[in-house]
Chains A and B, each alone.
Chain A
Amino acid sequence: MADTPIQLLILEASPQEAERVHSVLACLPDLPCEVQRVADADAAEAHLQAQRASLLLVGLETGRAGAEEVILGFREKHPWLPLLIVASDRHPAAAERLIRCGAQEVIGQDELLPDLVSRAIRHALARHATELARRTNEELLRLVADNTTDLIAVLDREGRRLYNNPSYARFFGNLEDLAGTDSFAEIHPEDRERIRQVFRDTLATGQGQRAEFRLVRPGGEVRRFESVGSVTRDAAGRPDRVIVVSRDLTEKQHLLEGLGRNVAELRVLHGELETARRKVAEADKMAAVTTFAGALAHDVKDTLQTLLLGLDFLRAASMAQDAGAAGVLEEMATATRKADAAMRSLLEFARFGPATVAEHELNGLVSQCADTVLPEANARRIRVERQLAPQLPRVRVDATRLRHVLLKALLDAIQLTTPGGQVKIKTCVHSPTASTALDPAARSGTVLVEIEDASPSPAPGKLGASDRGRTAHLSHRSPVELGTLRSVVEGFGARLQEARGPHRGGRVTLLLPAAPIPNQPPHHRASDP
């Protein structure tokens, strides 16, 4: 029991009886009380309005008219106040009536003994505390049930409605009309039997199950619900009621369906964007043909020239001996001229004008090209590593042609690199002190792009075998040779170099003129302090 004294108010008309109670209380050292006394109900009410009491002890003439009304009055006005009745007659039926009126404990006047009074006070305080807690819980549950948007119903064993929380009114109107009705009646016919079975299983096992079903509103609208049931048990421990908590999933379902449609549309859009991106990349690669066509024509025409002169020579030499051979050579010469005609048609198609030089941000161009060749790199399981120097000065180039050259050089590097390897593309400001041996024409004010492949080393003895001074590395390249790329970049004032490492891999370096930096001398490099 609490150490603080019990604030005990005695309502007793008889001073003698009040004195008796007081003297008994004085004999309870382990139950300290601060006792005050009033003689009638009005005085008690006035006292309770003025100050706090932790227990009201009421002396009652049990047979007196209005005794129970007095108890009911106090209970209604002071629900937090425990009531202990000292009755003139402790008849069990009379005590029961007083308990029902709200008293926590009843003792007879003949039971005013210290032990009995002490126990009665303790019982009254404990019962009242328990009741207050129960009432608090009930109030809390009522608030939850009244304010939740979920639907809460209590059903009997047959599924009839015993209670529905206010949320039901949103779907079925007046709650009073629902009492006692069949809770399965509004379930969609196609779901009804399944839900009945879930209900029966819940009662049989005592284990609630989650279930989804459709509910048909009085106007015919169908809504989708999810519910879960749990059982309460009777005094014998048998399930006697089922509490069903349901949630309206209709809006969620609509949102999910909408979301699904949006996701599907996004997937379609993503696919279209991806297709468009691939088409742009392919178009860029095709456009590169235009850039290379002029320089490529030179190589092809030289080849055709060799063929034509060779055929002429052979034809002149064999004419006298073998008419058949001469005919074959004539056909070959005709085929060579047709090839030249086809080349000229291609050149007509791929006509391009003079270079359009302007200032551009180099890393952006390089990144575009690296992105474009990713499908080819991925197909060969080759990683394209970018090392792009920050704060590069802008470069003065023909952006379209530079992009085409970068694309070609990257695609060549990917083709030359063993699957699973790496191609590196790097940008930096040229430093005259760099160990890389660069063209003497390269000087400060030059920005570099380096593309490194990881091609296997050529066989010993093949290096330098070309009589045109090209390395064996170049002999692996496609028909658009580095010479062609070199011609293209020289057309807009850049230069191109090719080098091969001592053991493995090749490197193509583009030397691009940097744009003048405002308010700086012409040769001041961006990387200078």
Chain B
Amino acid sequence: MDTAEPKRRILVVDDEIGITRLLKLVIERSGPYEVRTEHTGLMALAAAREFKPDLILMDILMPGMSGNEAAGEIRKDPDLQRIPLVFLTGAVRETYPGAAVQLDGHRCLVKPLDSAAVLNLLRTVLGT
């Protein structure tokens, strides 16, 4: 009998490839997580429909479709609208790194944040 805990799926979207690589590395090494990375809002939409993530971590300022626009499309999709979405952005001012603020009804973490803040977020949102 397989007692392994099912892996929780996390979609990480950021146009900075170094960030997505490291987030994938840090998150997957920390526990039963499967991370998929994308670099544009448009690709994130397609990936969300196919990958069916438990959580989406998404940058806001990206070329083409921005994180806000992608989040709007996700909210319109009945299959995706219940997926928790957290923005990761450096474009929010007057907040300190790791601070959680609300943006368009979504939780938002201010870059740069360390690994502990990311993992703490996963535990809070996913209850892991």
Contacts and interface: CB of A to CB of B under 8 A. Distances in A.
A312 B90 contact: no
A207 interface: no
A309 to B, nearest CB: 4
Contact of A313 (B14, B26, B63, B116): B26
A337 B90 contact: no
Which of A305, A316, A336, A469: most chain B CB closer than 10 A?
A: A305
Contacts of A375: none
Interface stretch (A35-43, A58-66, A213-221, A294-302): A294-302
Contacts of B118: 309
Contacts of B90: 297-298, 300-302, 304-305
Q: Is the interface of A mostly helix, strand, loop or mixed?
A: helix
Nearest to B17: A467
A284 interface: no
Contacts of B125: none
A347 B93 contact: yes
Interface residues of B, number: 29
A340 B97 contact: yes
B114 A294 contact: no
B91 A298 contact: yes
Given A294-B91, A340-B97, A487-B61, A305 B19 contact: yes
Interface string A445-487: 0000000000000000000000111000000000000010001
B57 to A, nearest CB: 12
A327 interface: no
A310 B97 CA distance: 16
B72 interface: no
A340 B112 contact: yes
Contacts of A340: 97, 112
Interface string B19-30: 100110110010
B111 interface: yes
A318 interface: no
Given A298-B91, A302-B19, A308 B114 contact: yes
Contact of A310 (B22, B63, B93, B116): B22
Nearest to B59: A302
Contacts of B29: 313, 316
B115 interface: yes
Given A313-B22, A487-B61, A297 B115 contact: no
A467 B40 CA distance: 13
A94 to B, nearest CB: 127
Contacts of B25: 313
Contacts of A468: 15, 17
Nearest to A316: B115
Given A302-B111, A313-B22, A483 B16 contact: no
Interface string A426-455: 000000000000000000000000000000
A336 B114 CA distance: 11
A275 interface: no
Given A297-B90, A312-B26, A333 B14 contact: no
Contact of A301 (B111, B114, B115): B111
Contacts of A253: none
Contact of B22 (A300, A306, A347, A469): A306
A259 to B, nearest CB: 59
Interface in B41-93: 59, 61, 63, 88-91, 93
B122 interface: no
Given A302-B90, A483-B63, A337 B97 contact: yes
Interface in A332-389: 333, 336-337, 340, 344, 347-348, 351
Nearest to A339: B112
Contacts of B127: none
Closest 4 A/B residue pairs (Cβ): A301-B90, A306-B18, A309-B22, A312-B115
16 contacts: A297-B91, A301-B90, A301-B112, A305-B88, A306-B18, A308-B113, A309-B19, A309-B118, A310-B22, A312-B114, A312-B116, A313-B26, A316-B29, A344-B93, A351-B93, A487-B61
Interface of A: 294, 297-298, 300-310, 312-313, 316, 333, 336-337, 340, 344, 347-348, 351, 467-469, 483, 487
Given A305-B112, A308-B112, A340-B112, 12 more contacts: A298-B61, A300-B90, A302-B16, A302-B111, A304-B90, A305-B88, A307-B112, A308-B113, A309-B22, A309-B118, A347-B93, A467-B17
